[in-house]
Amino acid sequence: MIKHIKNFDLRTIANSGQCFRIYEVDENVFNVLSKDKMVRVRMELNNKYDFDCTEKEFKYYEYYFDLLDNYDKYSKICKKSDKFLQKCINFSKGLRILNQDKFEMIISFIISQRKSVKAIQTSIERMCKLSGKRIKNKYGEFYAFPSAKEILKLSKTELLSCGMGYRTDYIIDFCKDYMAGKYDLEKMTKLSDDELINTLLSIKGVGIKVASCVALFAYHRMSICPIDVWIGRVLDKKYNGKIPKEYEKYAGMIQQYWFNYTRINKLN
């Protein structure tokens, strides 16, 4: 099924640090895994994408990739005097903030702490293979992201074999709390930004960066800006240590432009 999609680049999104289960398996060909779903997507010419799914199934990916939002508005908030942000936006054309599963994001970003993207992906895929439901199609065999109940069926030794290290106890504790009803991830959508961050911070093993990532990438709170070493350097070198007031409403999107540019290009 061919779709013409403006302001959408799957490779840029896959490498943006917000998701860990999008893989380029051949030139311009991607496997996209989310929850219990998998789709093969091919990048064609002239902003065309071939999604190997039905129109009904595409509705999920339309939401997942935030395709109904017009991303032209983000380039328009860049101040004319901000040549650095303009450079970042031009470099990052096609970048979008995904609408990802909340439980999957909490587990994934707990795992992500102090690990490379490759190591994060390896840990997640090992866990999925051990406890997730099998997805079999013409492209091969894949595994769904497991539920809390499925994760808790694994022994601590099995989870440790996934390469999670000290994060293993955090994952076990969160899954137990989630199963006990301590965290209603859907009801949390009604919380204010501050309330959401504070609730996420109450999860053992979740610090401010992980909480901010979950708030942005799972709850789509576009004003929340996760700050890692890359963004810290940008703010210190380019913006006197803080986010300009004009950018606060969409700080989450702005930091993605900054991150995508600076992780590849030298920050001058």
Shared-domain flag, residues 121 and 28: no
Encode pLDDT of 177-221 as tens digits: 999 999 999 999 999 999 999 999 999 999 999 999 999 999 999
Element of type H or E holding 33: strand 29-34
Domain boundary among 173, 191, 217: 217
What pLDDT does residue 76 have?
85
Token pair for residue 140?
Answer: 């091969």
The pLDDT confidence band at residue 265, using thresholds 50, 70 and 90, is confident
Provide mean pLDDT across the span 113-124: 90
Query: What average pLDDT does the chain have?
Result: 95
Q: In what order do the strands lie in the sheet with 2-4?
A: 2-4, 48-51, 37-43, 29-34, 22-26
**Do the domain assignments include residue 248?**
no
The pLDDT confidence band at residue 114, using thresholds 50, 70 and 90, is confident
Give the end-to-end CA distance of the chain in Å, rounded to a whole number: 43
Shared-domain flag, residues 111 and 200: yes
CA distance 49 to 52: 10
CATH number of 128's domain: 1.10.340.30
Shared-domain flag, residues 57 and 140: no
Q: Is the pLDDT of residue 152 over 90?
A: yes
Token pair for residue 41?
Answer: 């997507």
Shared-domain flag, residues 116 and 63: no
Encode pLDDT of 14-31 as tens digits: 999 999 999 999 999 999
Provide mean pLDDT across the span 140-147: 97
pTM (predicted TM-score): 0.94
Q: Is the pLDDT of residue 268 over 80?
A: no
Domain residues for the domain of 160 are 102-217
In this structure, are residues 142 and 98 in contact, taking their beta carbons and an 8 Å threshold?
Answer: no
